Chains A and B, each alone.
Chain A
Amino acid sequence: MADSTMTMTDGDAASETGSGAEVAARSSDGVRSPRFVGGVLLLVLVAMWVAGWFSGTTAEEMLSLTVWGVMLGGIIALGGIGLTLCYGVLKFPNFAHGEFLTLGAYITYGSILVLPQTNPIWRFSFGWELLLGMVLAIIITAVVAIVLDKLLYRRLRMHGSPLVLLAMASLGMEFLLRGIVYLIWGSNYHFYYSGRANPAMDFPFGVRVQADQLFVFALAFILVVALYWMLTRTRMGKAMRATADNPDLAQVRGINTERVIAWTWAIGAGLAAVGGVMYGLASQMRPDMGFLLLLPLFAAVIMGGIGSAWGALVGAIIIGVAMQLTSAFLNPTYGPAVAFTLMVLVLLMRPQGLFAQN
Chain B
Amino acid sequence: MDPAHLVKAFFLMLPTFLLGCLLFGRWRWPLRLPAAVLFGILVPLAVAAFIPGVMDYLVSFCTMASIYAVLSLGLNAQWGYNGHLNFGVAAFFGMGMFTMALFVSTAPTGPLALYAQQLFGLNAPFLVGLVAAAVMAGVLGYLVAQPILHLRIDFLAIATLGIAEIVRLIFQNERWLANGPQPFSGIPQPLSCVFKAPRCGWLPDWFLDATAVLQPRDYAYLYLVIVVIALAIIYAMLEAMVRSPWGRALRAVRDEESSAAMSGKHVKSLRVQSFVLGCVIMGIAGGLYAPFMVTIDYSHLNPLFSTFLVWVMLMLGGSGNNKGAILGAFVIWAVWSGTGYVTSGLESALSNIAPDIARRMSFLRWAFVGLLLAAIVLYRPQGLLPEKKRVSRFLRGVPEN
B54 is an interface residue with CB less than 8 A from chain A: no
| Distance between Cα atoms of A178 and B172 in the complex (Å) | 22
A318 to chain B, nearest CB (A): 16
B172: A residues at CB distance < 8 A = 333
| Distance between Cα atoms of A164 and B373 in the complex (Å) | 13
Residue in B157, B173, B364, B381 whose CB lies within 8 Å of A179: B364
Q: List the A residue with the shortest CB-CB distance to B374.
A: A172
Whether B372 pairs with A336 at a CB distance below 8 angstroms is: no
A173: B residues at CB distance < 8 A = 370, 374
B158: A residues at CB distance < 8 A = 93, 295, 298, 302, 343
A295: B residues at CB distance < 8 A = 158, 161-162, 165
A331 is an interface residue with CB less than 8 A from chain B: yes
Whether B378 pairs with A183 at a CB distance below 8 angstroms is: no
A186 to chain B, nearest CB (A): 6
Whether B365 pairs with A179 at a CB distance below 8 angstroms is: yes
Q: Which of A15-23, A122-130, A155-163, A272-280 contacts B (4 or more CB under 8 A)?
A: A155-163
A229 is an interface residue with CB less than 8 A from chain B: no
B360 is an interface residue with CB less than 8 A from chain A: yes
Q: List the B residue with the shortest CB-CB distance to A163.
A: B154
Whether A336 pairs with B151 at a CB distance below 8 angstroms is: no
Which of A176, A294, A302 is packed against the most chain B CB atoms within 10 Å? A176
Whether A175 pairs with B155 at a CB distance below 8 angstroms is: no
Whether A1 pairs with B153 at a CB distance below 8 angstroms is: yes
Whether B378 pairs with A155 at a CB distance below 8 angstroms is: yes
Interface of A is mostly: helix
B236 is an interface residue with CB less than 8 A from chain A: no
A219 to chain B, nearest CB (A): 27
B374: A residues at CB distance < 8 A = 152, 169, 172-173, 176
Whether B311 pairs with A168 at a CB distance below 8 angstroms is: yes
Q: List the B residue with the shortest CB-CB distance to A96.
A: B370
Whether B152 pairs with A1 at a CB distance below 8 angstroms is: yes
Whether A169 pairs with B373 at a CB distance below 8 angstroms is: yes
| Distance between Cα atoms of A257 and B190 in the complex (Å) | 60
A237: B residues at CB distance < 8 A = none
| Distance between Cα atoms of A186 and B362 in the complex (Å) | 11
| Distance between Cα atoms of A274 and B270 in the complex (Å) | 45
Given contacts A167-B154, A167-B157, contact A183 B357 (CB under 8 A): yes
B371 is an interface residue with CB less than 8 A from chain A: yes
Whether B155 pairs with A176 at a CB distance below 8 angstroms is: no
Please name the 3 residue pairs, one residue from A and one from B, whose CB atoms are nearest each other, closest first.
Answer: A179-B367, A176-B370, A179-B366
Q: List the A residue with the shortest CB-CB distance to B365.
A: A179
Whether B151 pairs with A347 at a CB distance below 8 angstroms is: yes
A340 is an interface residue with CB less than 8 A from chain B: yes
Given contacts A183-B364, A340-B162, contact A92 B370 (CB under 8 A): no
B11: A residues at CB distance < 8 A = none
B159 is an interface residue with CB less than 8 A from chain A: yes
| Distance between Cα atoms of A263 and B285 in the complex (Å) | 45
B110: A residues at CB distance < 8 A = none
B87 is an interface residue with CB less than 8 A from chain A: yes
Interface of B is mostly: helix
Whether B165 pairs with A172 at a CB distance below 8 angstroms is: no
**Pairs across A and B, CB under 8 Å, 10 listed:** A1-B152, A152-B374, A168-B373, A169-B374, A169-B377, A172-B373, A180-B367, A295-B158, A337-B166, A347-B148
| Distance between Cα atoms of A298 and B87 in the complex (Å) | 14
| Distance between Cα atoms of A179 and B371 in the complex (Å) | 11
A187 is an interface residue with CB less than 8 A from chain B: yes
Q: List the B residue with the shortest CB-CB distance to A170.
A: B374
| Distance between Cα atoms of A336 and B163 in the complex (Å) | 10
Whether A175 pairs with B370 at a CB distance below 8 angstroms is: yes
Whether B173 pairs with A175 at a CB distance below 8 angstroms is: no
Whether B363 pairs with A2 at a CB distance below 8 angstroms is: no
Q: List the B residue with the shortest CB-CB distance to A340.
A: B162
| Distance between Cα atoms of A176 and B364 in the complex (Å) | 9
Within 8 A of A (CB), among B113-160: 147-148, 151-155, 157-159
| Distance between Cα atoms of A299 and B155 in the complex (Å) | 10
Whether B360 pairs with A182 at a CB distance below 8 angstroms is: yes
What string of 1s and 0s marks CB contacts (under 8 Å) between A70-99 and chain B?
000000000000000000000011010000
Whether A165 pairs with B360 at a CB distance below 8 angstroms is: no
| Distance between Cα atoms of A176 and B369 in the complex (Å) | 7
Whether B147 pairs with A348 at a CB distance below 8 angstroms is: yes
Q: List the B residue with the shortest CB-CB distance to A334.
A: B169
| Distance between Cα atoms of A180 and B356 in the complex (Å) | 14
A110: B residues at CB distance < 8 A = none
Residue in A156, A187, A299 whose CB lies within 8 Å of B360: A187
Whether B154 pairs with A1 at a CB distance below 8 angstroms is: yes
Q: List the B residue with the shortest CB-CB distance to A335.
A: B169
Whether B378 pairs with A2 at a CB distance below 8 angstroms is: no
B154: A residues at CB distance < 8 A = 1-2, 92-93, 163-164, 167
B377: A residues at CB distance < 8 A = 156, 161, 165, 168-169, 172
Q: List the A residue with the shortest CB-CB distance to B359.
A: A186
B155 to chain A, nearest CB (A): 6
A344: B residues at CB distance < 8 A = 147-148, 159, 162
Which of B147, B304, B367, B369 is packed against the most chain A CB atoms within 10 Å? B367
Which of A93, A168, A183 is packed against the most chain B CB atoms within 10 Å? A168
B308 is an interface residue with CB less than 8 A from chain A: yes
A291 to chain B, nearest CB (A): 8
Whether A175 pairs with B166 at a CB distance below 8 angstroms is: no
B341 to chain A, nearest CB (A): 18
Whether A172 pairs with B157 at a CB distance below 8 angstroms is: no
Whether B381 pairs with A161 at a CB distance below 8 angstroms is: yes
| Distance between Cα atoms of A156 and B155 in the complex (Å) | 21
A45 is an interface residue with CB less than 8 A from chain B: no
- Since A171-B311, A176-B370 are in contact, a sample of 18 more A-B pairs with Cβ atoms closer than 8 Å, ordered by chain A residue number, is A1-B153, A163-B154, A172-B377, A175-B367, A175-B373, A178-B366, A179-B365, A182-B363, A183-B361, A183-B363, A298-B158, A333-B169, A334-B166, A336-B166, A340-B162, A340-B165, A340-B166, A344-B147
Whether A172 pairs with B371 at a CB distance below 8 angstroms is: yes
Whether B152 pairs with A351 at a CB distance below 8 angstroms is: yes
Whether B356 pairs with A186 at a CB distance below 8 angstroms is: yes
A212 is an interface residue with CB less than 8 A from chain B: no
| Distance between Cα atoms of A168 and B374 in the complex (Å) | 8
What string of 1s and 0s marks CB contacts (under 8 Å) between A325-358 and chain B?
0000001011011001001100110010000000
A40 to chain B, nearest CB (A): 15
A358 to chain B, nearest CB (A): 13
B153: A residues at CB distance < 8 A = 1, 164
